[in-house]
Amino acid sequence: MRALGDQRERRPRRRWAVLSRHLLVCALALAGDLPTTLGADVQVLIASEDSYYMQAVASLREHLAALHPGVVTEVDTDLKADWKAEDLLVTVGSDAMVRLRAEHPQRVALHLFITSDSWLQQRAGDPGLAENPALVFDQPPRHLVALTRALLPRATTLAIVLGPISGKHLNQVHGEAEKAGFEPLVGALSADANPLATLSPLVEATDAALVLPDSADFNSAVARWLLQLSFRARTPVIAFSRAYANAGALASVFVTPEDIGREAAGILDRWLKTGEYPRGMQYPDAYSIATNPAVATALDIELPDDEALRARFEAVLEALP
């Protein structure tokens, strides 16, 4: 088993944390505000030590410590056998979720930094997963459509680029596009499809192109072709990550690892106080928008400032039926 941090310091730090927690419990008991999950620690299993996972964990720790100073949050890359029955479990990354469900399917855990697709895929063969809470990091298709409308109020046609995994969202994103006043044209790509043959006529026939997240390999392959073809056709792309906007999309809407950690701390706060947690998958409340001013200038699109764009985006969301 390999834990994060300096293991030589871990044991004494834990003794002080436990002592502090007992003092806090005494204070809460005197105040009549004793939490339901008395004595619980938070055990976090991460898929790897990639920077975005660690950013989410750091944010979770920071915000949870402010809410529950006496609760210990431990982080590991390996499954642990010494978790207490009352400990609250958290996984970060789809691999961590799959490993925990395989080894401890009876344990409820909060699953973070997974996509809605990975949740649905795991749940298909693991019905008990539905009793777990999950906070996915992809944005709902509704947000991508709303951002497109906020930036391009006069656009009438919208290309929707889907891959083998994201294709399951076809009906949802198609319906959202129609609600926003677009005529959607769908480009569904298989894993072995020729992106050029599908994307070239699609972007030339539409006012904007929207792309949903798929597998990492698929995302990378499609991004290269989509950004080149759309720029040549002067068709702006709306995407799902900051990296896409940096690479040449007009704009993206996404959630940051810090926001995932903050919202996860809120779920754990409720769990610690009441013993209750939301069941099933939920999208994050938070979102961030990134734009590419150089692309906007090249395509003769006037970008509003950040505050105005956020206001427009939220107004479109509120207006959608």
Residues 116, 255: contact at Cβ < 8 Å?
A: no
DSSP letters spanning 168-188: GGHHHHHHHHHHTT-EEEEEE
pLDDT at 292: 98
Distance of CA 141 to the CA centre of its chain: 13
Treating both helix axes as pointing N-terminal to C-terminal, what angle do 141-151 and 170-179 enclose, rounded to 10 degrees? 30
Domain ranges of the chain: 7-138+258-282, 141-254+287-319
Predicted local confidence at residue 7, as pLDDT: 33
Distances (CA, A) of 102 to 90, 131, 281: 15, 15, 19
CA of 312: how far to CAs of 152, 177, 295, in Å? 11, 17, 20
* DSSP 8-state secondary structure symbol assigned to residue 207: S
d(Cα 170, Cα 59) in Å, to the nearest integer? 33
Q: Considering just the CA atoms, what is the radius of gyration of the chain in Å?
A: 22
| Count of CB atoms situated within 10 Å of the CB of 196 | 11
Q: Are 155 and 145 in contact, with CB atoms under 8 Å apart?
A: no
* Residues in Cβ contact with 307 at an 8 Å cutoff, skipping those fewer than 6 apart: none
What pLDDT score was predicted for residue 192?
80
Decide: pTM greater than 0.75. yes
Which residue stretches of the chain have pLDDT < 70?
A: 1-38, 81
Q: Do domains 7-138+258-282 and 141-254+287-319 have the same CATH topology?
A: yes
- Confidence (pLDDT) at 290: 98
Q: Sign of dihedral through CA atoms 22, 28, 32, 36?
A: negative
Say how many CA atoms lie within 13 Å of 117 toward its Cβ.
Answer: 17
Answer CATH for 141-254+287-319 from 3.30.499.10, 3.40.50.2300, 3.40.50.1100, 3.30.1360.10: 3.40.50.2300
Written out in words, the top-level CATH class of the domain with range 7-138+258-282 is alpha beta
